[in-house]
Structure 1
Amino acid sequence: MTTFALIQDSLPIMLWGAGMTVLVSGVAIILGMPLGLVLCFGVASPNRWISRISRIYQSVWRGTPILVQLLIIYYLLPLLGINVPPILAAILALTLNTIAFQAEIFRGGLQAIPPGQLEAARMVGIRKWAARYHILVPQILRLVIPSLVNETISILKNSSLVSVIAVTELMRVSQQIVATTYRPFEIYIAAAIIYIVINFLLSLAGRSAEWRLARGT
């Protein structure tokens, strides 16, 4: 079989696997965003215990390999009597991981905002969380879009590791095709190109969002 014929035959199932990759990564990023904001404010909290617990969470999830986190979540849940499909375990592990990284991204944006804004909002009677939601969060998001895009790309690439817990995403599909065709070079090159295209589209989406927010639209 020629290389072109091999890729043509394999492309539909590989694109299906790419769709699963985007689904797992996208859900993790979306779930992690509000929780990352909460953790960000927890790290910056004047309450020593809240800040300390938040930093411990960050240290654990930023300081351990994501593969180890995936395996722990996958094997820990059944021990606790919680039986979930591998895809849900993968989404949970990636979400818990990205929360820690997104919190640090948001904290960088928070530090770039003059603290007087929150103080002024409190003086006119706006409650703390309402001021954070309506005043700080929109500014933080505008400031950190490039970093959020980078984190999204990082999670998407790391999602290739979920194949170890039997989630049929792009990498696992590629491995299955290689196991039947014995043509690893062509298949893995095709998988790499698909990853590059997805990441390129994510970068374009991030630039578009950054441009729109800069224009106030």
Structure 2
Amino acid sequence: MFDWPLLQQNFPLLLGALRTTAEVSAAALFIGFFIGIGVAAMRLSPKPILRRLGGAYIFVFRGIPLLVQLLFIYYFLPRAGLPNMSPMAAAIISLALCCAAYIAEILRGGLLAIPGGQLEAAGLLGLNSRQMLVRIRVPQAVRLTLPGLINEMILLIKASSLVSVVGLADLTRTAQNLAASDYMFVQDYLMLAAFYCLINIPLAYAGGRLEKRLKERGA
């Protein structure tokens, strides 16, 4: 069933593609997290216009499939007069904008769960809205929503397989190329699944350990 010499030959290629997938996912998560904080703050703003803008952002980027967003950014924006975008840049921007919508809703739930008395006390101590958001609200919201954020990280890594449509040599694209050349479809795609597990299983385990430690510290 397995061609071990071929597997050993293909392993370094998939290992290099794993690095590309990890870089794209990490960059998109980093950017998307900060965008998500801003969108969540807009959703909870006392100003109706900001709430509507935040809601519109979430509606658009959760309602349109990620694949369509990726193709739009990569193919349409250059036709609109913007500079040509590399596959890597298009992949990071698309994933970041999409995951920001989900992170915003996750964080919004955490922000709403913070007792109002804490914010009142912070206001009495002289903290402004931005300081309360950075020092009080976001850290607690992250702690309260950690399982949801870890789940979104894992979903983002799996969703990164779509970036192969713009020619980026990520894990999925590399496995497709290998399967098309050696016709060992089962072997190549099992290796592909194993490499995704190589990222996601330790991430899920680390997230569970961190959640447990935070609960013990809180108790």
Shorter-normalised TM-score: what interval? over 0.9
Q: Which stretch shows the higher mean deviation, 2-11 or 71-80?
A: 2-11
Shift of 1:213: 3.5
> Is 1:28 aligned to residue 23 of structure 2?
no
| Structure 2 SS opposite 1:126 | coil
Tell me, which stretches of 5 or more residues in structure 1 are unaligned? Answer: none
CA displacement, residues 111-170 of structure 1 (integer Å, 9 cap, x when unaligned): 111122112211221111101211111111111111111101111101101000000000
Corresponding residue for residue 143 of structure 1: 144
Deviation at 1:187, TM superposition (A): 0.2
8 Å contact kept, 1:118–1:132: no
Moved over 3 A (4+): 211-214
- The answer as to 2:205 corresponding to 1:204 is yes
Letter in 2 for 1:135: I
Query: How far is 1:42 from its partner?
Result: 0.4
Query: What root-mean-square deviation, in Å, do the aligned CA atoms of Structure 1 and Structure 2 show?
Result: 1.4
Alpha-carbon shift at residue 193 of structure 1 (Å)? 1.2
Give matches, 1:178-197, under 5 Å: 178-197=179-198
State the partner residue of 2:3: 3
In structure 2, C-alpha distance between the alignment counterparts of 1:94 and 1:199, rounded to whole Å: 17
Provide the C-alpha distance between the structure 1 equivalents of 2:90 and 2:29, rounded to a whole number of angstroms. 15
Give the equivalent residue in structure 2 for 1:168: 169
The alpha-carbon distance between structure 1 residues 132 and 2, as it changes in their structure 2 partners (threshold 3 A), is closer
Q: Which residue in 1 is equivalent to 2:135? A: 134
Alpha-carbon contact 1:18-1:169 (below 8 Å) kept: yes
Identical amino acids, percent of aligned pairs: 42
**Structure-1 separation of matches of 2:96 and 2:195:** 23
Give the CA deviation at 1:82.
1.6
Change (3 A) 1:113 1:168: same
Q: Which moved more, 1:118-127 or 1:1-10?
A: 1-10
Question: 1:158 aligns to what?
Answer: 159
Alignment-mate amino acid for residue 33 of structure 1: F
Report SS of the residue matched to 2:195: helix
Distance of 2:184 and 2:131 partners within structure 1:
57
Q: What per-residue deviation string (whole Å, max 9, x for no partner) do you get for residues 5-25 of structure 1? A: 221111110111111111101
Please say if 1:114 is aligned against 2:115.
yes
Once the two structures are overlaid, the 10-residue window that deviates more, 74-83 or 19-28, is 74-83
Aligned length in residues: 216
> Secondary structure in 1 aligned to 2:145?
helix
The secondary structure found in structure 2 opposite 1:82 is coil
Match of 1:48 in 2: 48
Q: Which structure 2 residues correspond to residues 65-76 of structure 1 after superposition, within 5 A? A: 65-76=65-76
The alignment's TM-score, normalised by the length of structure 2, stands at 0.94
2:127 is paired with a residue whose SS is coil
**Are 1:92 and 2:93 counterparts?**
yes
Matched residues in 2 for 1:3 and 1:145: separation? 42
Counterpart-to-counterpart distance in 2, 1:103 and 1:63? 14
